[in-house]
Amino acid sequence: MRVENVKVTFNIPVHFRQPDKNGYIYTKKVWEEAVKKAADIPIEIIHDDGTRTVVGVAQDVQLVKDGDEDIIKVSGMLRYGGTSENVEFTKDVITNVILNGIGITK
């Protein structure tokens, strides 16, 4: 099933005063300022060669506390996505679905 405008919410863990996977250290203050300016920014797939494919838009970005962990909480919309499934038909109606995965399409 392919649909448009798939609503998504995801959490990105942030660790202050310790290196990220690139070896950089961020302060809480820089992220507090960054998220204030981050409405309606692209959700992207960043490829190994540095090129980017926009797959949606982040409509709301917040720095929040989740228990003991700081996270960047992103809510937005993927342009296209849906499900990957095997189906059985009776006439023109799908009568059985086996869900194989959830996908993002371009």
Q: Is residue 93 part of a domain?
A: no
Average predicted confidence (pLDDT) for the chain: 91
Q: Is residue 90 part of a domain?
A: no
* Domain, as residue range, for 52: 2-80
Q: Is residue 32 part of a domain?
A: yes
Tokens of residue 47, six digits: 């490829």
Query: What's the pLDDT tens digit per position in 14-51?
Result: 999 899 999 999 999 999 999 998 989 999 999 999 99
Angle at 81 between CA 51 and CA 6, to 5 degrees: 105
Q: Is residue 70 part of a domain?
A: yes
Strands (E), the chain: 2-14, 41-46, 52-66, 69-90, 93-105
Query: What's the pLDDT tens digit per position in 54-98?
Result: 999 999 999 999 999 999 999 999 988 888 899 999 988 999 999
Is this model's pTM higher than 0.85 or not? no
Tokens of residue 30, six digits: 């820089």
Q: Is residue 97 part of a domain?
A: no
